[in-house]
């Protein structure tokens, strides 16, 4: 495939594409099919996607950020925190042209695993799928967050509270690191 990415068989995975733009759904679906995916479902917005998840339990959700009435951030929060969520651990890839830092942070804080900037290509779609397959981060549960560990690297210059599972607990917030789903 691509020299920088390992080859994965996507034929056994179920994908859910969530986007109000039919053209974008078609592009992502065609790319996934070309990459070998056989089971690809589509919905137009977050509430519809959440109901579809209950019926088909996807392995990976690829969602746009801006949709109505339920947007991608709200969908991600519902998936991660609703008591009736069919799979709070499902990998979520946010697909958006809104790439300003605050949008990326909002997606991260809503429990999104990966962010895919538009315009997309077959390579960028595949690279994010590979990332959620190959590098599943442990899940964190605190009073204010549930989702994949938001930290991607160890910063040797960090001087704040150390709250990783391997650190001494010097915070007053109870944080639990969970195994990935």
pLDDT digits (tens, 9 = 90+) for 79-111: 999 999 999 999 999 999 999 999 999 998 888
Averaged over 14-42, what is the pLDDT? 97
Tokens read off for 157: 């210059």
Rg (CA), the chain: 17
Q: What is the predicted pLDDT for the residue at 166?
A: 47
Q: What is the predicted pLDDT for the residue at 170?
A: 45
Query: Does position 30 have pLDDT exceeding 70, yes or no?
Result: yes
Query: Contact 180/138 with Cβ under 8 angstroms?
Result: yes
- The CA distance from 162 to 156, in Å, is 12
Higher pLDDT, 178 or 90: 90
What are the start and end residues of each CATH 3.40.50.2300 domain in the chain?
Answer: 14-136
Topology (CATH level 3) of domain 14-136: Rossmann fold (3.40.50)
* pLDDT tens figures, 114-170: 999 999 999 999 999 999 998 878 778 878 777 777 665 566 665 666 555 444 444
Q: What's the pTM value of the predicted model, to 2 decimals?
A: 0.82
Mean of per-residue pLDDT scores for the chain: 86
């Amino acid at each position: 495939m691509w020299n920088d990415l390992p080859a994965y068989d996507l034929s056994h995975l179920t994908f859910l594409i969530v986007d109000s733009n039919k053209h974008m759904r078609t592009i992502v679906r065609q790319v996934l099919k070309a990459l070998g995916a056989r089971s690809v479902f589509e919905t137009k917005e977050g509430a519809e996607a959440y109901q579809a998840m209950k019926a088909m339990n996807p392995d990976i959700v690829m969602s746009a950020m801006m949709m109505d009435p339920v947007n991608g951030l709200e969908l991600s929060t519902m998936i991660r925190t609703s008591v009736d969520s069919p799979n709070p651990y499902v990998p979520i890839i946010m697909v958006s042209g809104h790439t300003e830092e605050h949008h990326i942070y909002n997606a991260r804080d809503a429990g999104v695993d990966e962010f895919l900037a538009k315009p997309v290509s077959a390579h960028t779609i595949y690279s994010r799928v590979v990332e959620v397959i190959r590098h599943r981060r442990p899940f964190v549960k605190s009073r204010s967050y549930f989702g994949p560990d938001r930290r991607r690297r160890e910063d040797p210059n960090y001087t704040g509270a150390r709250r990783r599972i391997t650190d001494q607990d010097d915070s007053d917030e109870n944080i639990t690191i969970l195994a990935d789903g």
